[in-house]
């Protein structure tokens, strides 16, 4: 792979997940990065999706007492409650939709695709934790 600052980005997010008490997301995210380093692109993508979903669900639960389970439903709640504006919601919703393609199934992924997904989801989760997650 290339020497992008992805390792630095992942270290920062891993620390934030631990410090803010997101053990499930932290576990999935660590597995995603380990799979990425091992060149297991689909496994990385699948674990990223799980980490992303857990953060969305946990933020909705903590901020609004939500008792649902799905990441898509959590995104809708965050929009409805005003924690996300329309553009933020559309961005995260698009990324959520993308996270369901070329993961552990269906399809296959390439190194560049897996790298871009890792960067995009890392940034999105940090955005949620440092914006929405602060409510």
C-alpha span between 105 and 100 (Å, rounded)? 8
- What global pTM score does this model have? 0.88
> Pick the residue with more confidence: 101 or 131?
131
Q: Whose structure tokens read 């965050």? A: 78
Task: Please check whether residue 99 is in contact with residue 45, taking contact to mean a CB–CB distance below 8 angstroms.
Answer: yes
Q: N- to C-terminal Cα distance for the chain?
A: 37
Question: What average pLDDT does range 82-87 have in this prediction?
Answer: 95
User: Assign residue 107 a region: left if phi > 0, alpha if psi is -120 to 50, beta otherwise?
Assistant: left
How do residues 14-32 score in pLDDT, each as one tens digit? Answer: 999 999 999 999 999 999 9
How do residues 29-63 score in pLDDT, each as one tens digit? Answer: 999 999 999 999 999 999 999 999 999 999 999 99
C-beta atoms surrounding 8 within 10 Å = 9
């Amino acid at each position: 792979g290339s020497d992008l600052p992805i390792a630095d980005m992942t270290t920062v997010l891993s620390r934030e997940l631990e410090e803010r008490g997101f053990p499930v997301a932290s576990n999935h995210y660590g597995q995603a990065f380990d799979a990425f380093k091992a060149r297991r692109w689909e496994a990385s993508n699948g674990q990223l999706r799980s980490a992303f979903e857990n953060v969305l669900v946990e933020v909705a639960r903590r901020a609004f007492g939500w008792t649902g389970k799905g990441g898509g439903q959590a995104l809708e709640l965050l929009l409805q409650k005003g924690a996300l504006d329309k553009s933020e919601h559309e961005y995260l919703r698009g990324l959520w939709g993308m996270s369901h393609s070329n993961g552990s199934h269906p399809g296959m992924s390439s190194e560049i695709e897996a790298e871009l997904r890792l960067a995009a989801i890392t940034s999105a989760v940090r955005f949620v934790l440092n914006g929405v997650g602060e409510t």
